[in-house]
Amino acid sequence: MTSNRKLRYAMVGGGRDAFIGAVHRKAAALDGQIELVAAALSANPDKARASGRDLFLPDDRNHGSWQDLLADELKRPAHERIDFVSIVTPNHLHFPVAQAFVEAGFHVVCDKPLVHTSTQAQALVDAVKRQGTVFGVTHNYTGYPLVRQMRDMVRSGVIGSIRKVIVEYHQGWLATAVEATGNKQAAWRMDPALSGLAGAMGDIGSHAENLMATVTGLEVEAICADLAATGAGRTLDDDAQILLRLKGGVRAALLASQICIGSENDLRLRVFGSSGTLDWSQENPNRLTHTPLGETPRTLTRGGPGLCEAATRASRLPAGHPEGFIEAFANIYLGVAADIRARLAGGVADAIDADYPTVEDGARGVRFIEKVLESAASDQKWTAME
C-alpha cells in the first residue's frame, strides 16, 4: 500500500437527522486528503441505505449495518479496503464497533466519550497496542490553533508555574425537557442505556476535562463533585460543579451545564500561573488573552505573528479571516491522517504532524467521568483519582 493517495474511510452512524456525522464528513473532506467511500449510516437498515444514497455512495459499499460493512471490507483485496473507520453513533455503540474494527486491523476515529466504562476503555487500549493501529478520539476543541498556542505557552513556562485552572462549558439547550418532545439528540443523551451513566458530564464535561488536560499536561489527583438532574423526569445529570486537585498542588474547577438559558456553546479555559494568565473562549476562538504579571493584557490572534509552530500549522487562512469549529475538527482528522500515512510508508509520524487525542486520552476521560460519579454519590466527596 502507498500513502501517495487520498485516504479512504467508512462512517458508522451519522445518517439522516444526525448532527455530528455531517460535521465529521465536512471536516474530513476539508483538506482534500480523505474521502468517504463506504458507510453504515444508521442502525435502521433502510435509513442507513437512504442516507448513503444521499451521499452518492455506490450500492455495494452502502450498508444496512456496521457488521455488513466490516464483513464486506474484510472480503475486499487490501488495495481496495478502507484505511480507517469513523464512528459517530450514540455512545452505546462506540465500544462494540471500535473493538470489532480494531481487532480486524483497521484504524479508527471515534467520537467522544470513548465508551461507557473504564473496563471497555482499557480493552480498547489493549487492543490498539496489540494490533498496532491508529486510534483517534474527536475531542475537536484541541484542534483550534490558539488552544495549541495556549498549550505551548503553558508547557514552555510563559506564565510561570500553574497555580489555578478554571474550565467551564455551558449550554442552555436542555433547560426544558426537550427529550420528551421528539428531539432525537436530547432523547438519546438523556437515556442511560444509550448515553451511559453520565449526561452533561459525558457529553460536554468530557470535552472540558480533555481541554484542561491537553493544555496543562497535569494529572487529576482528587475530585469533589456535585451533580444535579434538574429536568423533570431526568435520571442523568444536566448540571455539574467539580473541584479538582491536580498534580503539584494545583487547584482547579470544572463546570459543565446544559441548563444555562442564554448559553449556546460557551466553553472557556483559564490558566492562572505565577507570572501570568491565559484566557481562551470557544465562542471567540481566534483570540487568546495573555496577561503577564503587572502588565497590560495582550491579545494573540489566530494567524498573527509570534505564534508557535503547532498553532501556525493549524491555521488555514490569513489573520482576520475567522476560522472555527469545522477547521478545528479537520485538524484532528489531519493528525490521524498523518499518522496513518507514516505507517503506510513504513515510518513514524512526527509528533507535530500526528497531533490528535488518542485512545489513551479517551480512556483517561472515561475514568474521570466514573470518578466524578463516584464522588457525587459519596458522603466523603473527595475521591482519589487512582
Q: What is the DSSP letter of 218?
A: P
Residue for cell digits 484504524? Answer: 107
Q: Is the Cβ–Cβ distance between 172 and 262 less than 8 Å?
A: yes
Residue 244's DSSP bridge partners are 223, 252
Rg (CA), the chain: 21
pLDDT confidence of residue 3: 61
Which one-letter DSSP state was computed for residue 178? G
Fold observed for domain 7-141+329-357: Rossmann fold (3.40.50)
**HSE value, Cβ hemisphere, 13 Å, CA-based, for 254:** 28
Omega cis (within 30) before 90? no
How much is the pLDDT for 380?
82
Residue with grid cell 485538524, as numbered in its chain: 331
Could you please report the per-residue DSSP string of 285-325? TTEEEEEETTS--EEEETT-TT--HHHHHT--S-TTS---H
Dihedral sign for Cα 258, 154, 290, 246, please.
positive
pLDDT recorded at residue 381: 82
* Residue 2: predicted pLDDT: 45
pTM of the model: 0.96
Dist. CA 23–CA 43, nearest whole Å: 19
Instruction: List the chain domain ranges.
Output: 7-141+329-357, 154-289+365-384
Integer angstrom CA distances of residue 181 from 19, 173, 186, 215: 17, 13, 9, 38
What is residue 291's three-state secondary structure? Answer: strand
For residues 111 and 87, the answer to whether their CB atoms sit within 8 Å is yes
Find the angle CA(286)-CA(361)-CA(325) to the nearest 5 degrees: 25
User: Are the C-beta atoms of residues 93 and 48 closer than 8 Å to each other?
Assistant: no
Nearest to 375 by CA among 205, 233, 151, 258: 205
Per-residue pLDDT tens, the chain, 386 aa: give them: 446 899 999 999 999 999 999 999 999 999 999 999 999 999 999 999 999 999 999 999 999 999 999 999 999 999 999 999 999 999 999 999 999 999 999 999 999 999 999 999 999 999 999 999 999 999 999 999 999 999 999 999 999 999 999 999 999 999 999 999 999 999 999 999 999 999 999 999 999 999 999 999 999 999 999 999 998 889 999 999 999 999 999 999 999 999 999 999 999 999 999 999 999 999 999 999 999 999 999 999 999 999 999 999 999 999 999 999 999 999 999 999 999 999 999 999 999 999 999 999 999 999 999 999 999 999 888 999 97
The CATH superfamily label for domain 154-289+365-384 reads Dihydrodipicolinate Reductase; domain 2 (3.30.360.10)
- Residue 386: per-residue pLDDT: 79
Using an 8 Å Cβ cutoff, are 264 and 175 in contact? Answer: no
Strands 276-281, 298-301: parallel, antiparallel or unpaired by DSSP? Answer: unpaired
